[in-house]
Structure 1
Amino acid sequence: IYREKMAITNLTIMEEFILLGFSEYPNIQGFLFVVFLFIYISILLGNGLIIIITSVESALQTPMYYFLGNFSFVEICYTSNILPRMLVNIWRQKRNISLLSCAAQLCFFLILGVTESFLLAVMAYDRYVAICKPLYYPIIMNQRICVQMVFGSWVIGIPVLIGLTYQVFSGPFCGSNKLNHIFCDLPPLLKLACGDTSGDEVFLYVHCFLFGLTPFLMILMSYIRILSTILKLPSTTGRSKAFSTCSSHVMVVCLFYGSGLIAYFQSMTSSSGSIEKIFSVFYTIVTPMINPMIYSLRNKEFIAAMKKLFSKWGR
């Protein structure tokens, strides 16, 4: 009966998609491969170095660096879900991806993106406690609480995001199987879905509100209180030191949310696939490469620990 209905409505059962990526630029495929390979290696090295240093250096065995190490691990997983397949597609010029692989990529992308959002909120809360309640910091941010916060950031969205992925792929796709994107993302998939996709779009907006806006509001509330406390400090030196401990995190938050919002806004309003893909590259690939530089180059404690570790390796 199902196949008869599909035939009547002239639908085709999709078995795979074609990820077009940047195939519209055939003359620069070799250049793109080199660029994306360099970016991926930079992400692995930069974030891997943060994980190693925050794990082995006793001076960095604090909640702030514990969260930073976990954040770097998520960044590696986040880009490893996208970049290796992109590199293989460019190298082999074979861009097909099965429905199951596409669903898995989308699901992991959503879960890791939500985990990253809530880790950024946890890191903001850590700074709030350190600046606004310094005497209670060791009690509030004890090891058990820190582990629970990281674990909660990982699992909080999994059931809903698996359900969202199932809802997107449970419906039929019709027409072309060409996905004009660099990976399996929600907006381009919904464009290929048949029939009324308003339910999926509403679910998408609810997901964005719950797992995007909620951690952002938590970050905003933390920094409003931090700013209020800093402005009450009597000395300029104290205010400068307090601001410096937050500046790197604020820059990463702005990059993450700013580029993500622009990319999704472009995907929903723009008909130009090229612009959409460029913004997607920025928030999924370029930002994870920049983040380690922000945290390492603007942090004196981290630079000192890095020099100490390199001196040990050089002996």
Structure 2
Amino acid sequence: MRAFDYHLAESPADAVATLTAHPDAAFLAGGTNLVDHMKLGVATPDLLVDVSRLALDEVTTTEDGGVRVGATVRNSDLAAHPLIRSRYPVLSRAMLSAASGQLRNSATTAGNLLQRTRCVYFQDVTTPCNKREPGSGCSAIGGYVRYHAILGASPHCIAVHPSDMAVAMSALDAVVVIEGADGERRIPIDEFYRLPGDEPHRDTVLRHGDLITAVELPAPPSGAVSDYRKVRDRASYAFALASVAAELTFDTDQIGSARIALGGIAHKPWRARRAEEVLAGATAGEETFAAAADAELSAADPQPGNEFKVALTRRTLIAALRTLNERGRR
């Protein structure tokens, strides 16, 4: 690991000003992703600005009945929080399906959102990677692609975003609160992440110096039922081959509203807008669920070697909708 300087931030404004003044600096909170990348040589900051002791570690209600989650709330604490478990079970279940208990005890809300891909080529500095070194090429194309994208990829990058929490927050229409050099901004999570295009090294719309201070969740719809379903190679401590975060409301035998996000299949949490359009107002049932899945996956473009993810994602989405339909009818 290369030598680096260290600064303990005294306030969000101090953290933003310090990072803004140093082009090669990075924020440090739980460090569960950044420190690994520093050891691998993927990340080489010359200054770490520690934000872990800022007063951003609370979960509170908002005036509109939603919930505000501080940036440094630990993943274990958020998953177990009564407000999250009662109002947003999809989020609690997503977080409990991620990593290990030890990592969840260290990882923070903002850090989870900012996880970088676990593509093996990104983490191997001996191989070309456009995300790590723009313009060097994408070693995954034509390589090992079991975990790679089937939606939203580009000729420059086919990596996927690893976070489970971000998938659930996407389905919940979360808003990311950011403090930057020009003051506070609020960005819907679906606009916070980027597809790779020809700049795959830019995961988000954050500017250098921007600090996530909170994530806000709107109040859940009345009568909503939600769940998170994750398919992976082993039962724990594994990233998703495909995952579904879904929330439905029902009006007798019809679906009132649908919010769905998919994980493990794209460069960002994939909001399933086509599926939502098919479901809203339709009669709940297997035919509707299959039609929604087919509509969403009609644009899938798998690589040779991960074609199975199309069928896997279809089955996972249908199964998740079936489960919510059963719960919503009780």
TM-score (norm 2): 0.29
TM-score (norm 1): 0.30
Which structure has the larger Rg? 1
From the two aligned structures, give the one with the greater strand fraction. 2
From the two aligned structures, give the one with the greater helix fraction. 1
